[in-house]
Amino acid sequence: MALSSESRHGMWSSRWLFVLAAAGSAVGLGNIWKFPYIAGENGGGAFVLVYLGCVALVGLPIMLAEVVIGREGRRSPINTMRVLTQQHHRHPAWVIVGWLGVAAGFLILSYYAVIAGWALFYILRMASGAMTGVTANVANQAFNDFLASPGQMLLWHTLFMMFTVYIIGRGVIKGLETAIRWFMPLLFVLLIVLVGYGVNSSGFERGLEFMFRLKWESVTGETLLIAMGQAFFTLSLGMGAIMAYGAYVPSTASITQSVIVIAVLDTLVAVAAGLAIFPIVFANGLEPAQGPGLMFVTIPFAFGQLPMGAIFGTIFFLLVSFAAITSAISISEPVLAYLVEQYNAKRKRVAISVGVLAWILGVGTVFSFNVWADVHIVGQLTFFDFVDYVSQNIMLPIGGLLIALFAAYGLPKTVIAAQLNARGKAWWIGWRIVVGCIAPLAVLAVFVATVVEFDTLMAWLNLQ
């Protein structure tokens, strides 16, 4: 039996609402902005395949685990871990999963709001017609000029954080429903329009080849780590966001189907974003590995060439901003729910405090693109690179690893089987093997491969 059948924070009114909300969390900047540029920086094809493998083998089973744990505990991730360990007499140290998630959430939210601020700014930029008919170089220069201005960036960063705080303060569940229902399908339609443009452009074949041709020689331990980090990030895993949303899932809803729908939707959006962006990159001699600015140069340029491009471009960035908001909300939910539970505090107040803290941290990311561009925290990493790298590539996989282990060994088998309604189902054993063994080993192996240089490892394996 679950501890309680309802959460004090409210409940999704149906399974589909959960699917929409979780898809809203998963589909965000990670798919449209991050995936194409990371794939571009890491050699394309082989990266994409490793990433898809991580989504299927590691991401999907861990997502299932997060929802199950969340629904069993019905509280914020920190308190869910606390009550479940108490109830099942497990070591209290498991609560670290919740704390790690809160820390990762702060780091991610801090830079997420900055990049989402860029998208807000581009709504205006596209609407003004400033990008209509410009060359690729001009689009590139316009973006660099924007990055060079900390004042501009701060303004949009602040605005995005204010929107987020406003929505999370009001209570997510009802306010979001209508919006998600309208905006997610629209986002799909627009992506399809853009992919259509890409397919018809002269760079389509090269784009396709870049994304899907295997170049194993470009895969290093680091590539594996980045692909895995991206799989966690894009599915919102490893930090309790999905666990927090899982706490609001009605007891009668089937979790397995929902999770598959969410992961498939998320993957489709990422691949579509790549198919929209890379053909334009190649058709116009742009650089696929140009980094975080990729989407902000290619998309405005492409729309600038289209009839009614200013209108479509405006809608596109509006939707990107909206996809970002639905994700930002879920990044804040674990800490928000925890503070409300712990201090009986008003959601509004908690939302403001969380927003202010994350905003302050975000200023470091704003400066990373201008005044602190030459300040390196470790190696060549700027403040933004560092926060991004540590949260995405280290904290999320470790969080995910612990969540998988807890689902496999921390909770009694019967509890999970009841949650998943899994008695007598063939996939049940498979899932247990994946969560208890394959996914944790894969995460560990990738960490080891990063530390021990991948080439050395391969050479060693060949010798055996």
Residues that bind ligand PHE (CB under 6 A): 25-26, 28-31, 108, 233-234, 236, 239, 241, 327, 330-331
Nearer to ligand PHE, 28 or 207 (CB): 28
| Cα–Cα distance list, 309 to 118, 132, 137, 441 (Å) | 19, 7, 18, 48
Helix (H, G, I), strand (E, B) or coil at 250: coil
Give min distance, CB of 241 to ligand PHE, in A.
4
Give min distance, CB of 115 to ligand PHE, in A.
9
Nearer to ligand PHE, 186 or 418 (CB): 186
Nearer to ligand PHE, 330 or 450 (CB): 330
Output Rg (C-alpha) for the chain, integer angstroms: 21
Nearest to 51 by CA among 228, 289, 264: 228
* Tokens 């627009």, residue located: 190
Nearer to ligand PHE, 176 or 239 (CB): 239
Which helix (H) or strand (E) is 118 found in, with range? helix 96-127
- Between CA 185 and CA 195 the distance in angstroms is 15
Give min distance, CB of 320 to ligand PHE, in A.
10
| Cα–Cα distance list, 280 to 105, 194, 231, 372 (Å) | 33, 10, 25, 31
Q: Is 432 exposed, middle or buried (0-12, 13-18, 19+ CB in 10 A)?
A: middle
Helix (H, G, I), strand (E, B) or coil at 378: strand
Give min distance, CB of 302 to ligand PHE, in A.
21
Nearer to ligand PHE, 109 or 131 (CB): 109
Nearer to ligand PHE, 94 or 111 (CB): 111
Give min distance, CB of 234 to ligand PHE, in A.
4
Look at the chain and count its residues.
Answer: 464
Nearer to ligand PHE, 221 or 292 (CB): 292
| Cα–Cα distance list, 375 to 345, 383, 391 (Å) | 39, 7, 19
> Assign residue 34 a region: left if phi > 0, alpha if psi is -120 to 50, beta otherwise?
alpha
Contact criterion met (CB below 8 Å) for 194 and 302? yes
Within 13 A of 327's CA, how many CA atoms are on the CB side? 30
Nearer to ligand PHE, 221 or 274 (CB): 274
Q: Is 436 exposed, middle or buried (0-12, 13-18, 19+ CB in 10 A)?
A: middle
Nearer to ligand PHE, 104 or 340 (CB): 104
Amino acid occupying residue 427:
W
Contact criterion met (CB below 8 Å) for 324 and 164? no
Give min distance, CB of 37 to ligand PHE, in A.
13
Give min distance, CB of 150 to ligand PHE, in A.
24
Give min distance, CB of 325 to ligand PHE, in A.
11
Here the tokens at position 164 are: 């987020």
Give min distance, CB of 34 to ligand PHE, in A.
7
Residue with the closest Cβ to ligand PHE? Answer: 30
